[in-house]
Amino acid sequence: MTTTPEIQTPLPQPGAPARGPVQRRLRAIAVPAQLALVACLFSGVPVPDAVLLGGKALLLILLAAEAHVWLRLRRLGLSRREALARLVPERVARYVAHEARILASLVRWIARRPHGVGEADGVFPHARDQAGMMYGLTFVCMAETVALSFLLARWPVVHAVLLVVDVYTVLFVLGMHAAAVTRPHVLAGGVLRVRQAAHVDLRVPLAQIASFRRETRFTHEKKDGELNLPVGSQTSLTLELTEPVNAPKLLGAPRLVRVIRLHADDPKSLYDAVTRARTTPAPAPQDAD
């Protein structure tokens, strides 16, 4: 008895466009059109109702087209993450993920739930020396929000747009500090996890550390192969590695570094913990009975 071989639909090749020419042209038209409408509303330029209706219809058509492409990629066997990666440019996805981590850090800060500290051998906060500056900046942003609310009361559209921007700015500044508080440096399983706010999360194996020293610095020149993570304009510890590690930038560009300067609220505790972990010999395997 012969069986008919199953015909499988080929998956899209990496780098191949997920959208057809119609979707690409639609996005090229819809996105600038929406930005132009927002600019007109923001500047107080009167926009005919027909143009507003057309802009809304164009946006709905674009969303429907993107949903169609999403469903097509899912039917071809891609996971949700893979389909999202095909639809959204990597830089945009990384930026949105960064903003999401900022806002999520506010919730963690309120709930007192640090991120990534489960089963840690040591947790080392690093946000204390920037707290005063961040709270001061938050107060300035709030004062600006109140002042602009009074000054722009006669222009409701401009007032509404700037109010949203100002409120988000306040949340963003607080979220930056919350991310620093809830994402401390972590030592676990022979790896030092170096972090700063929500944009740096670097895992450094202890076996890859050539030297580790306490070194307070208040000035940091940008050099190739060096990563400076100052808090309150200072770093207190310096890591030198045997080989470079990749510390990608905010939007994903690779950055190879062999020297990392960081800060901790208690640099001595972090230095001692890493030194002990590097010098403590691994337990010898026990012979089987």
- What is the structure's pLDDT at 5? 43
Residue 185 exposed, middle or buried by CB count within 10 Å (0-12, 13-18, 19+): buried
In the DSSP assignment, the letter for residue 7 is: P
Q: Which tens digits make up the pLDDT trace of 136-186?
A: 999 999 999 899 888 888 888 778 888 888 999 999 999 999 999 999 999
Q: Which tens digits make up the pLDDT trace of 238-275?
A: 999 999 999 998 888 899 999 999 999 999 999 999 99
pLDDT at 22 over 60: no
Residue 233 phi/psi, 5-degree rounding, is 65, 20
Residues paired with residue 205 on neighbouring β-strands, in sequence order: 191
CA distance 154 to 192: 55
Sign of CA dihedral 121, 126, 131, 134: negative
- What is the structure's pLDDT at 24? 64
State how beta strands 256-262 and 191-196 pair. unpaired
What is the mean predicted confidence (pLDDT) over 202-210? 94
Sign of CA dihedral 11, 16, 21, 27: positive
Average pLDDT value for the chain: 83
Long-range contacts of 173-176 (CB under 8 A, 24+ apart): 173/134, 173/137, 173/138, 173/141, 174/106, 174/134, 174/138, 175/102, 175/103, 175/105, 175/106, 176/102, 176/134
CA distance 199 to 97: 10
